[in-house]
A and B are shown apart, each in its own frame.
Chain A
């Protein structure tokens, strides 16, 4: 798969989600502590990509964009996928991101968000009984994530490393 920018790439912004049909490719750039959740139905070849910033909306008094939070964003994208023709029980999830970007941070909760984003995403997916087929999470590197809606493959680009496919 060619990684150069192509017309069939759909950009998913920070704290957003997008849904697309094969052969479109969904991409979200530069995940740090944020987590990218891809969901894909192998039969209808409809896929969605969600860029989560925070684990839990309940920690905030005011929620402007539910897509930013794992607890609200994941159910939201799944509902939308189903509305657009995906079979909920067929959906396959992949998780990417949730890194600890900074060195010198004294492991305070403040900089522990990546880990919490991963944990909450797993928990919510489990509650909705969506299978997580693969993960590329944690560590200390930023990641760019592509979902190929034709194949369900997820490509991960990291600075200074080879492209990884999960």
Chain B
């Protein structure tokens, strides 16, 4: 998976599918919270590991990550990464706490982040599945709160694709009233799965 192997048309299609997927994710989140949640227009692209690290902060940046394994027509991993401040802000937002209240991840906060990640990724995956008619199963979520590079490389390695140096990344923002949280959503999939995704969208890879 190299950046150059994807056409503008394919990137546009990913952008569109991200919009649909994340739209559903925001709706699910709003339903869970019984509050209005808005979403910024997501930006989808295929990026290198270095670029990912640059986008989110740095190798040692403290981030939270919720990941689900996919199988069926798409084999791979989806995961959500929030940086430290967005993680805390997300907990405050969802608990209806004043911003700045949460300053560490206790057990309660961890389970909230886990649940949010699960809902967001679950809604994203089912939206893609409905839209493309591809069969995609998700596993139970796994969670980490640690150095960005340590988390990211562990997931890349777990996929058994150490020579793929780029992943599909979707950057997005969630808003509640005037509060904003930045999240980065990633899809790490086998080339055959990406091909299948494009085919289902009517684009030949």
Contacts and interface: CB of A to CB of B under 8 A. Distances in A.
B62 interface: yes
A32 B145 CA distance: 12
A29 B67 contact: no
Interface string B136-169: 0000111110111111111011101011000000
A101 B150 contact: yes
A87 B142 CA distance: 45
B142 A32 contact: no
A102 B114 CA distance: 12
Contacts of A113: 154, 157-158
Contacts of B142: 102-105, 111
B49 interface: yes
A104 B112 CA distance: 14
A143 B151 CA distance: 11
Contact of A101 (B62, B154, B162): B154
Interface stretch (A41-49, A62-70, A74-82): A62-70
Interface bin, chain A: 20 to 34
A144 B67 CA distance: 23
A110 interface: yes
Interface in A112-166: 113-114, 141-144, 157, 159
A95 interface: no
A164 B111 CA distance: 30
A142 B147 contact: yes
Query: Which among B49, B142, B143, B160 has the greatest number of chain A C-beta atoms within 10 A?
Result: B142
A38 interface: no
B60 interface: yes
B151 A29 contact: no
B140 A104 contact: yes
A63 B129 CA distance: 33
Contact of A30 (B140, B147, B158, B160): B147
Nearest to B69: A110
A102 to B, nearest CB: 4
B175 interface: no
Given A30-B59, A32-B150, A104-B140, A110 B158 contact: yes
Given A104-B141, A104-B143, A144 B60 contact: yes
Which of B140, B144, B154, B162 has the most C-beta atoms of chain A within 10 angstroms of its own C-beta? B154
A111 to B, nearest CB: 6
A102 B64 CA distance: 11
A14 B147 CA distance: 14
A54 to B, nearest CB: 6
Interface string A84-113: 000000000000000101111110001101
Interface centre among A30, A59, A114 (most CB of B within 10 A): A30
Nearest to A15: B162
Given A32-B154, A102-B67, A159 B162 contact: no
A101 B146 contact: yes
A33 B146 contact: no
Given A30-B147, A30-B149, A141-B150, 12 more contacts: A31-B150, A32-B150, A32-B153, A60-B162, A101-B151, A104-B142, A113-B157, A113-B158, A114-B154, A141-B146, A144-B60, A159-B62
9 smallest A-B Cβ distances: which pairs?
Answer: A142-B150, A30-B149, A32-B150, A142-B147, A29-B59, A32-B154, A102-B142, A30-B147, A104-B142
